[in-house]
Structure 1
Amino acid sequence: MERNPSSAIHGRGAQSGKVPTRFGLAAREIDGDWRDYMELLAREDGAPPGKLRTQVTEERPRTILSFNTSPDIPFDRSINAYRGCEHGCVYCFARPTHAYHDLSPGLDFETKLFAKPNAAELLRATLAKPKYRPRPIAMGTNTDPYQPIERQYRITRQVLELCLEARHPVTITTKSDRVIDDLELLAEMARHHLVAVAISVTTLDPKLSGKLEPRAASPAKRLAALGKLVEAGIPSHVSVAPVIPAITDEFMEEIIKRAAAVGVRSASWIPLRLPHELSPLFREWRSVHYPDRAGKVMSIVRSIRSGRDNDPNFFSRMKPKGIWADVFRSRFNLACKRSGLNRKRMGDQFPLDCSQFRRPDLGGQLRLF
């Protein structure tokens, strides 16, 4: 997976689709097809390959609400309106999920997307069930609910409109300033204590951001979006994630300082995770963009992950260990203290209210009770 820096694929996070998978994904090779032959010639001549196009397939699943019993995350249910993500963040831990569908966690993940137009309809049916009991629904836990195709499909907005109707609390995690498109809706939900929004900021360097997360909003736009959310009275949180040793960790303190300057009062950090196919993908990206830091980056990653590229175990996978982990943790806590963040516990910062929940009507049917 080692690549020459001059062969970088600009505008995409992954640098190839040739990623080993756990499921024996078939490799694609040149077989004489004319378009493939011309692309091969272009690469040999040093010319850029043909521009990759984003493809969106609509799918209609039977259910939309996913439940989990993980001890490592603070929610037990989530909604993902999209599979794959055009933001193309090379570090995205959701990439390996594309392998389940015989697609590459590399370029396929950011170019072959799936949208679920009936998400709100499915959620309405679930919330209307007599045995359903509300707890906050997490959105953006796998792929971004405000990635570029949301502007066309508006699936996230439809889900939020239903949650407001049903008075069901929601948490949102995104790295897009498109969340501001729904500012009035989110503000109304906030008045009922039904929503909290987290925006992830990885770096403050726009050039580095363009390599790491090429189609996500710039860091400046994300910080500006946080400020607008705060002004609208929407509980807002900055996530310094992921922290990539020797590449993005230098920005940790300044991200917290700038988030505090726009009114944010809550922050968290997550160290880089490299599950399954993500490890060779990241190594390839690193060989293209930071070949001089290869040994240092992975040495630190392994030092906080018990000597491996990734720690998959419950209770420890989200809690890095070792000297480097202690250094990052101390830096983060000190930065938050200086900026006045995290003076309250997370649950006290965002008190979402489940007591207002009311079952939605199904297709205009009247409630019997």
Structure 2
Amino acid sequence: MDEIPRQALKGRGAISNLTSRYERETRVLADDGWGENEALTETVPTQVFDDTARSVLSKNTSPDVIFERSVNPYRGCEHACIYCFARPTHAYLGLSPGLDFETKIFRKARAAELLAAELRAKSYRCQPLALGANTDPYQPIEREQRITRAVLEVCRDFNQPVMIITKSALVLRDLDILAPMAAKGLVNVALSVTTLDRDLARRMEPRASTPARRLAAMRELTAAGVPVAVLASPMIPGLSDHELEAILTAAAEAGATQANYILLRLPLEIADLFEEWLREHAPNRADRVLSLIRQCREGNLYQSQFGSRMKGSGPVAELLSKRFKLACRRLGLNARDAALNCADFKPPPARGDQLTMF
């Protein structure tokens, strides 16, 4: 049978359902003689499944990030960002990091309940939690599922500080929780802005909020007293890195006081998925982009070493780092301490607890 070439699907980032690294066989779309060589062009619907995890607190041991504990209400992400470093985790479930990752979403329906139990444990020591460090807590299905909101309600009740990472304006829905928490120094929100080009964003992160809506969300959060950071991530050499200063400037004007960036990461299956996407959506730039990425990764498309995996190495990466630092200095970003308040953490009384006299 002849293999049928995959085509980009409306509202999806990945072009193919690339076989994961754990599979023995490789799956391809083939013509069995009945399809008249028609390519797959229909919309792939999103399916939601239950995740039966017994814990929602994930521990991070990487020295490259500022948090040790995180909560992820969902596995998989409907935003469908082609570059998402979480894609390979779907292979653990026997699914593809390609289309499966963005169409087969696993919800942690008991996330709030499990989090409350873990925060009450005598062994727990308060530290900021990252909400959405792996997949976006405000992806489209959160509008109905409301799991992220329930998690935030627990954090509010416990005075548990939380760092939210998202690229969705849906975060504004929860301002009634976030604003009072911010007044106590318990929350900040980091909005990821990869590009200001709406057309590029639509192709690269098709179901995320538009760049303009993310900047508008920064303004509303700032007006409500919620500290805001901008993540110019990922920076893609030869495709979006020229926008670094413009992104930081727009975010600072919208109220952001903190900033960071990450150089494009292409671990495991993401390298093939990204190259496939690049040759479909930016064929004239593909070879140049891949060459620049290799120049930042010592000849490879990715390096996993701590200390360099986020920023890369070599002249191209060093120039990007210098540009970032100069822009932040000019715009006054990262000039203030953004530490969250852990001193007021206290589990609220639970049903059946003995009342205290003081």
Q: How does 1:327-342 map to 2 (within 5 A)?
A: 327-342=319-334
Shift in Å at residue 72 of structure 1? 1.4
Task: Kindly tell me the number of residue pairs found equivalent between the two proteins.
Answer: 353
Letter in 1 for 2:79: H
Q: Which residue matches 1:355?
A: 343
Matched residue SS, 1:234: coil
Q: Which residue matches 2:10?
A: 10
2:185 touches 2:340 (CA, 8 Å); kept in 1? yes
Q: Does 1:366 align with 2:349?
A: no
Shift in Å at residue 358 of structure 1? 0.8
Shift in Å at residue 58 of structure 1? 1.5
Q: Does 1:273 align with 2:273?
A: no
1:206 touches 1:218 (CA, 8 Å); kept in 2? yes
Give me the TM-score of the superposition, normalised by structure 1: 0.91
RMSD: 2.0
| Unaligned residue ranges in structure 2 (runs of 5+) | none
Cα deviations by residue, 1:147-173 (Å, 9 ceiling, x for unpaired): 001111111111111111001100000
Percentage of pairs with the same residue: 49
Given the alignment, which residue of 215, 219, 229 partners 1:227? Answer: 219
1:175 touches 1:222 (CA, 8 Å); kept in 2? yes
Shift in Å at residue 282 of structure 1? 0.3
Q: Distance in 2 between matches of 1:177 and 1:250?
A: 25
Given the alignment, which residue of 286, 291, 300 partners 1:299? Answer: 291
Q: Residue 29 and residue 294 in structure 1: after superposition, are their counterparts in 2 closer, same or farther (change >3 A)?
A: closer
Cα deviations by residue, 1:37-64 (Å, 9 ceiling, x for unpaired): 76x43xx356x62221000002221111
Q: How does 1:185-200 map to 2 (within 5 A)?
A: 185-200=177-192
Cα deviations by residue, 1:94-120 (Å, 9 ceiling, x for unpaired): 000001111000000000000011001
Cα deviations by residue, 1:189-246 (Å, 9 ceiling, x for unpaired): 1011110100000011111001100000000000000111111110100010000111
Shift in Å at residue 368 of structure 1? 7.0
Letter in 1 for 2:254: V
- Structure scoring higher RCO (CA < 8 A, sep ≥ 6) equals 1
Q: How does 1:95-106 map to 2 (within 5 A)?
A: 95-106=87-98
Q: Distance in 1 between matches of 2:60 and 2:43?
A: 39
1:83 touches 1:143 (CA, 8 Å); kept in 2? yes
Q: Residue 27 and residue 169 in structure 1: after superposition, are their counterparts in 2 closer, same or farther (change >3 A)?
A: same
Q: Distance in 1 between matches of 2:285 and 2:19?
A: 23
Shift in Å at residue 361 of structure 1? 3.9
Q: Distance in 2 between matches of 1:232 and 1:25?
A: 52
Give me the TM-score of the superposition, normalised by structure 2: 0.94
Bigger fraction of residues in helix: 1
Given the alignment, which residue of 147, 160, 175 partners 1:155? Answer: 147
Q: How does 1:97-116 map to 2 (within 5 A)?
A: 97-116=89-108
1:82 touches 1:113 (CA, 8 Å); kept in 2? yes
| Unaligned residue ranges in structure 1 (runs of 5+) | none
Matched residue SS, 1:270: strand
Q: Which residue matches 1:144?
A: 136
Q: Does 1:204 align with 2:196?
A: yes
Q: Which residue matches 2:311?
A: 319
